[in-house]
Amino acid sequence: MRKINLSKNFAALALMWTIIAMPLAAFGQTRVTLPKNKYKVQDDVKIGQQASAEVERQMPILNDAEATRYIQQVGERLVRGIPAQFQQPAFDYRFKIVNASDINAFALPGGPMYVNRGMIEAAKSEGEMAGVMAHEIAHIALRHGTSQATKQSNPLTQLGTIGLIIGGGLLGGQQGAQLGAYGAQAWMTSYSRDYESKADILGAQIMAEAGYDPRDLANMFRTIEQQSGGSRAPEWLSSHPNPGNRYEAINREAQLLRVNNPIQNTAQFERIQSKLRRLPRAQSMQEISRNTQGNGQGRTENPTANGRYESRVELPSARTRSYTAGNFLRLNVPDNWQVFETEESVTFSPQGGYGKDGITHGAMVGLIQTQNNDLGRATEDYVNGLMQSNNYLRQQSDYTRTTIARRNAYTTVLSGRSPITGRTEIVNIFTTQLNNGSLLYVAMVAPQNESSSYDNAFRNIIRSIQING
């Protein structure tokens, strides 16, 4: 009688049980690799933060704590399913709902992701919704935004940032970004077919690891087609080029993945979906875009657009008047300067110094929501964003410590030849940080040959600033 090797057989049985019991087992799943990328991981984070701030100024973010918390929970579950080789500790994955009716979702480099309310309402299950989210998470994890930018000649200049100086005119807040409600979304989602296919595959793998059936990602394509009635290309598909075999490719990949008792629908999904469907009708992205591009109702209308640039602009008056923004900010400006307000900034400029491209004479004060609690770094990020988006500007001085309203502050000077005036303009930048971490900036601009006539006005503005909070 032969001796039985119990330890060997026990190990074999244990291995078999492990394969059967594990939530996800990879049986020859498709290998996905990171594409070529000349940018640092921190560049993804910085670009995503800047673009995210602009998106949230231009698009109607749904203010519903329960729905947002639910989307965040599903997103975090999927993020935990990202394979280890694609995990980036620096990335900050966060999820919000856009109050738009289109069946769509899009992600920005470094982690921010936006899910349209219309997509949640259209999905037949949590699994289908999670499929779209997993696809977008895959774009982030594979760094497709900066990878695609690597192949382009001017990758970063397409991104807007608050307080841009465009065409030689100083623009405030969202006006400076020039992204438009479609713009930010279109740039971030206009990927090549190869990148789309890779995001489909990795998205399927992420779904399986997170406990969802990857087939639900494929099924979402069919749901979208049904919801659109076949009359036109669905929004999500139109912004994600479809070579025609994606449904089949995802299902083939699903056959290589094992998921036990996959999550398909949940009571929480049904409750949130029902809640969203009871809300007043959401606008389409087309309506949002139209409203933000000049009909006076949108959030991105340029308030200086009706002005006309003049070769001779009246010098700042020695007399000043006080400007107050709620109970938060107070400052003094020359009384011959007009005031142009938006939700995030206020611009002051004399007649002839403003027009459709912003201001050539005057000052702008605004706020930026920043993820960086270090004033120096937040200031550097802001200034670098200005220069990246406006390559005619150059920094002419180092960052110098100063104070604004008895708070620590920084100042620096930029300059460049204005395409509007044809003259070199000087831009004085001052920044300080509020208690909530927001960056307050003051940007003051004048042609170099007139700058001495503006020095006193600019100094008086800085000295007069009072901040509460």
pLDDT above 90 (res 179):
no
pLDDT in tens, 81-96: 999 999 999 999 999 9
Question: pLDDT tens digits, residue range 367-420?
Answer: 887 766 789 988 988 888 767 666 678 999 999 999 999 999 999 999 999 888
Work out the average pLDDT over 348-359.
90
Task: For residue 358, give the nearest of 415, 313, 305 by alpha carbon.
Answer: 305
Alpha helices, DSSP H, located in 228-298: 235-238, 246-255, 267-277, 285-291
User: Tens digit of pLDDT for each residue in 317-338?
Assistant: 999 999 987 667 899 999 999 9
Start-end ranges of CATH 3.40.1000.10 in the chain?
320-467
| pTM confidence score | 0.54
Phi-psi category of 216—alpha, beta or left, where left has phi over 0 and alpha has psi -120 to 50?
Answer: alpha
Higher pLDDT, 239 or 191: 191
pLDDT of residue 371: 63
Contacts of 452 (CB under 8 A, 6+ apart): none
Euclidean distance between CA atoms 246 and 179, whole angstroms: 30
- Fold for domain 320-467? Protein Transport Mog1p; Chain A (3.40.1000)
Structure tokens at 411: 């100042």
Residue 178: which region, alpha, beta or left (left: phi > 0; alpha: psi -120 to 50)?
left
Q: With a cut of 50, say whether residue 6 has pLDDT above it.
A: no
